[in-house]
Amino acid sequence: MSDGASLAIALADLVAIGLFIYGLHDLNSPATARRGNRLAMIGMLIALIAVLVQTLGVGLWAIAIGIAIGGVIGVYAALKVKMTAMPQMVALYNGAGGGAAALISVVEFYVTRGGSVAMNDVIAVSLILSAIIGAVSFAGSIVAFLKLQELMTGRPVTYPGQQIVNGLVAVGIAVLGAWFVVTLGLLPAWGFVALVAAALLLGVLFVLPIGGADMPVVISLLNSFTGLAVAITGFELSSTLLIICGALVGASGTLLTVLMGRAMNRPLTNVLFGAFGAAGGTETVAGSSGPQQVRSAGADDVAIMLAYAAKVIFVPGYGMAVAQAQHSVKALADQLEKRGVKVAYAIHPVAGRMPGHMNVLLAEANVPYNQLLDMEDVNPEFPTTDVALVIGANDVTNPAARNVSSSPIYGMPILDVDKAANVVVLKRSMRSGFAGIENPLYEMPNASMLFGDAKASVDELTSAVKAL
């Protein structure tokens, strides 16, 4: 390749990197977020054209087949998926990226053994690390997807000696990896295959014991894993482009993960190794025994309560997402506002399955941003609130987090809905929340339950308010 062409490719990569960084910067604000995504898309297009020029069309038919299949699958799935299934979709795409990084290392392993590409110690270390991390991310993301899609239990899967098994698999990976590096990739092929298989197994074992309530944290962590794998792949292929993009994502994913862990007031190690909710699943918290005694209310009663309130705060959770109730909630809010009721929405940082999950859904229903209040802003409001309407949220409203030190969620900051004059909880049944623990809120004297599908219940409330 001529020097001019190499220079053009390097400059194209630089432009792409600039567009990625500027695009991420634009994602700081709702006003510029779409432009940010578009800029990143243009950056990606430039980078991909540059790499196609760089490879001079070698193996072009294979590349074209891969891009055609992957592009069709990716776009089709993205357009078809329901807004509520977004989190698991992100998990799947993330897993695809991790799998790609791992496969690159697998192919590179055989290519270097053929001798046509030189091996050295940096390539050996990065090849094995990106194979391991990519495989963990791939397998872990698929388990996260299966859990969120409810194709397998969302509960933590635990068994005796789990940590020991995980530890042994990790040690096995470390030993095989060391063998690989010491021999500069000239170990028997079965050793390498066993290593990749063990890394896949570790990915599965790593996510299995984590309950659905912690999935946002896990997806974010796996996202940063894939970023890391991509950055390391960059060392393998001596690609500045991959290193920078991978590092950007690795840093952002780590930061998001830490922020989420902080919001739940639990160190990351606790999320990952605590098997959250496993112990509390059947135990009753705080000495309450037997089935909980709750008051059940009718839609008409609740409608009157809402219509004559001065201030109502909606507390959406995963139940709203499942029932696709966001448009109904907005309709109810409109009715109430027409009657002069002050309306706001309380958004817990980990409500739903991902940070910002509720914001996205409510934005879809055209709820104004300024009505969406973060936990710190909304908690002082509850004591002066007439009705807190909890729509399919559970664990993020559980007062046990404040005062029951034996509760698995003890110490997690919650929305203080129990301080409102009235709390109405819309819920499908008395089944416990995703963390698998009972919620003493439901037994409080100011609380009442409205059972049923969230969308159906909210629609009922809207027509009842209209009829008043």
Partner 1 sequence: MTDVSHYISLLTVLVLAVFVGFEVISKVPTMLHTPLMSATNAIHGIVLAGAIVIVAQLFGASANGPVLTVLSIAAVTLGAINVFGGFAVTERMLQMFRRKEGGK
Q: Where in the sequence numbering do the catalytic residues fall?
A: 395
Number of Cβ atoms within 10 Å of the Cβ of 186? 12
Q: Binding of partner 1 at residue 388 (CB under 8 A)?
A: no
**Which is nearer to partner 1, 70 or 188 (by Cβ)?**
70
Phi, psi of 284 (to 5 degrees): -95, 145
Residue 21 or 278: the one with the smaller Cβ distance to partner 1 is: 21
297 vs 365 by CB, closer to partner 1: 365
Q: Which is nearer to partner 1, 75 or 310 (CB)?
A: 75
Contact present, 424 and 274 (Cβ < 8 Å):
no
112 to 141, contacts with partner 1 by CB under 8 A? 114, 116-117, 120-122
CB of 161 to partner 1, least distance (A): 34
Residue 363 interacting with partner 1 (CB under 8 A) = yes
Taking the complex as a whole, the smallest distance from the CB of residue 201 to partner 1 amounts, in Å, to 19
Decide if residue 240 touches partner 1 (CB under 8 A).
yes
For residues 131 and 100, give the distance between their C-alpha atoms in angstroms, rounded to a whole number: 9
State the minimum distance, in angstroms, from the CB of residue 281 to partner 1: 28
Q: Give the sheet arrangement for strand 372-374, strand by strand.
A: 372-374, 342-347, 311-316, 387-391, 422-427, 447-451
> Smallest gap, in angstroms, from Cβ of residue 316 to partner 1?
13
Q: Which residue has the tokens 């004591």?
A: 383
Out of 201, 244, 323, 426, name the contact with partner 1 by CB under 8 A: 244
If the CB atoms of residues 149 and 252 are measured against partner 1, the closer one turns out to be 252
Q: Is 130 helix (H, G, I), strand (E, B) or coil?
A: helix
Does 190 help bind partner 1 (rule: CB under 8 A)?
A: no
Q: Smallest distance, Å, CB 352 to partner 1?
A: 9
Query: Which residues are within 8 A (CB) of 236 and not within 5 positions of it... i.e. 6 or more apart?
Result: 104, 105, 108, 123, 126, 127, 130
Least CB distance to partner 1 at residue 320 (A)? 15
Instruction: Decide if residue 379 touches partner 1 (CB under 8 A).
Output: no
Map residues 14-53 to x or -, x wherever contact with partner 1 holds by CB under 8 A: ------xx-xxx-xxxxx-xx-xx--xx--x--xx--xx-
452 touches partner 1 (CB under 8 A): no
Query: Which DSSP letter does residue 317 get?
Result: -
Say how many C-beta atoms besides its own lie within 10 A of residue 66's C-beta: 12
Binder of partner 1 out of 140, 209, 234, 317 (CB under 8 A): 234
Candidate list 188, 267, 368, 380; residue touching partner 1; CB under 8 A:
368
Q: Does 220 bind partner 1 (CB under 8 A)?
A: yes
- Count the site residues for partner 1 by CB under 8 A: 117
CB of 262 to partner 1, least distance (A): 12
Report if residue 448 touches partner 1, rule: CB under 8 A: no
Q: Is 226 in the site for partner 1 (CB under 8 A)?
A: yes
User: How many other C-beta atoms lie within 10 A of the C-beta of residue 105?
Assistant: 24
Q: Can residue 235 be called a binding residue for partner 1 (CB under 8 A)?
A: yes
Which element (helix H / strand E) includes 368?
Answer: none
Q: DSSP state, 321?
A: H
Please report whether residue 230 would count as binding partner 1 according to CB under 8 A: yes
Specify the residue, 358 or 425, whose C-beta has the smaller distance to partner 1: 358
Interacting residue with partner 1 among 165, 194, 237, 430 (CB under 8 A): 237
Binders of partner 1 in range 257-296 (CB under 8 A):
none
Distance CA(287)–CA(253), nearest Å, equals 40
Q: How far apart are CA 132 and CA 196, in angstroms?
A: 6
Check binding of 155 to partner 1 (CB under 8 A).
Answer: no
Residue whose CB is less far from partner 1, 30 or 298 = 30
Residue ranges in 57-116 that form contacts with partner 1 under rule CB under 8 A: 58-59, 62-63, 65-71, 73-75, 77-79, 81, 83, 86-87, 89-90, 92-94, 96-97, 99-101, 103-104, 106-108, 110-111, 114, 116
The answer to whether residue 196 forms part of the interface with partner 1 (CB under 8 A) is no
| Residues 6+ positions from 366 with CB-CB distance below 8 Å | 330
**Measured between alpha carbons, how far is 127 from 235 in angstroms, rounded to an integer?**
8
Least distance from partner 1 to the Cβ atom of residue 354, Å: 5
> Per-residue DSSP letters for 157-223?
---TTHHHHHHHHHHHHHHHHHHHHHTTT-S-HHHHHHHHHHHHHHHHHHHTTS-GGGHHHHHHHHH
Site for partner 1, residues 298 to 357, rule: CB under 8 A: 337, 347, 349, 354-357
Tell me if 232 sits within 8 A of 135, measured CB to CB. no
The answer to whether 194 contacts partner 1 (rule: CB under 8 A) is no
Nearest to 279 by CA among 350, 327, 195, 211: 211
CA distance 334 to 326: 12
Contact 367, 325 (CB under 8 A): no
State in angstroms the smallest separation of the CB of 275 from partner 1: 24
Tokens of 306: 């809402």
Token digits of residue 447 = 């609380």
